[in-house]
Amino acid sequence: MQDLFEKDPARAQRMSFDWQDFYLDYSKNRISEETLDLLFQLAAEVKLKEAISAQFSEEKINETEGRVVGHTALRNFDSMKVEVAESLQKIKEFTRSVTTGAWKGYSGKSVTTVVNIGIGGSDLGPDMVCEALRYYRNELDVRFVSNVDGDHVMETLKGLDRETTLFIIVSKTFTTQETLTNAQTIRKWFLKDASETDIEKHFVAVSTNLDAVADFGIASQNVFPMWDWVGGRFSLWSSVGLSIACAVGYENFEELLKGAHEMDTHFVSSEFEQNIPVILALLSVWYNNFFKAESECVVPYSQYLNKLVAYLQQGVMESNGKSTDRNGDPIDYQTGTIIWGSTGTNAQHAFFQLLHQGTKLIPTDFIAFTRSLHGNQDHQNKLLANCVAQTEALLQGTYGEEVENNFKLFKGNQPTNTILIKKLTPNTLGGLIALYEHKLFVQGVVWNIFSYDQWGVELGKKLAKGTLQNIENDVESNGMNTSSGELIKKIKKSW
């Protein structure tokens, strides 16, 4: 890459472009113009344009589950489905009643704390967004319970007032083991000082299982819809984002959706040569399949985005961790990449040593905002200086310099993309999340896999039910691997 920059002074200008408040610089990659031409030819060969059209025209591209992939319709205010508009109106009215104090608990007090109970897509997205938009949050204390770890639940409940706490249970089927276990534990905690009839004033649900919700004690008017054409890991734009709307207000929630829709429009309408998700996806394929790079690092230079990587891990690895192609045949090439990372500058003092002098090729996305929210320019200048300097160091290393020993040798030539965004707002955050959604979709098209099913999640769930019976009851672990059987014996002895 050092040679490419020396030979072509205009490389940085040609391999970068603006779109609204976003600027992408992908010049620090191991690519030439020929590489790009061939990657765009690959996109044409796999009929990427047609695949994009199929998704946005609501064809059943999730073929193994026979479903439409329609999460982009949740944020399309230009042509919104009636049921989506009605759901947003219900979110708006509910949110305003809570944030204005009109919603009263069983003792007549207003809500001060909202607790979201969910897991996976019903937790990671809302939790990440609430943290990312902390600057815009109102006075409500919004918390999240996900792990079935009882200590996690009790720590979350610690110090809460039953009279002023509202719980949102998010479960499409209302049968997810972790979510329902946590919900029942919290229900028992609530009923220590309240009555069954008080539940409808303190619990709401996002679900399709109306009977189970009613049995729990939640009033029908306090149930928000979910649809089978929205996958869990893409559901924060739906009623699953109710906790987001509570935390930052409905207007900011709507701006989040609009920002995502603007990225949708960019993805659908822009030529591939000026298309941020397409370029990032093709570069990912380039390193994954031609350089055998197994992972990608994501480093946001904003502490607000400290939960973004965990969110992207689910989105990317649950979507593209597949070893069977669309014809049902085994795959003999690499598919899904491993996503990892952390926030800068913290990451620089942790794993950046591996990026600079390790033996692995790890392409890295740097994400930064040119303007701070609190206006401390000294901090922001230093933050951005570190961001740019790290991409420069990864590119250049000690190339062309004399070093006193090999311990201080940096080969450089480490690829990076830099995504500069003017300011972290609900709108730009929505665009950033949608960018990575579309990136993983493009990867799936190129790899000829179904990105929107998740059969790999189910096997462990099924086995856990039988394992639980073995742990809770004095029975032999018949049919179970001897290692697992011995582990269960150890667990029982610890009692």
Give catalytic residue positions.
318, 349, 461
Task: Tell me which amino acid residue 52 is.
Answer: I
Cβ-contact 294, 339 below 8 angstroms:
no
* Rounded Cα distance, 357 and 353, in Å: 6
Cβ-contact 355, 394 below 8 angstroms:
yes
Q: How far is CA 249 from the centre of its chain?
A: 21
Q: Order the strands of the 223-224 sheet from edge to edge.
A: 141-145, 113-117, 165-170, 203-206, 223-224
* Rounded Cα distance, 145 and 180, in Å: 11
Q: How far is CA 90 from the centre of its chain?
A: 25
| Cβ neighbours of 80 (radius 10 Å) | 15
Place of tokens 């770890």: 149
DSSP element (H, E) containing 364: strand 364-369
* Rounded Cα distance, 43 and 448, in Å: 12
3-state secondary structure of 68: coil
- Name residues whose C-beta falls within 8 Å of residue 123's C-beta, 6 or more positions apart in sequence: 116, 144, 146, 170
Q: How many CA atoms lie within 13 A of 115 on its CB side?
A: 26
DSSP element (H, E) containing 267: helix 250-269
Place of tokens 């924060």: 236
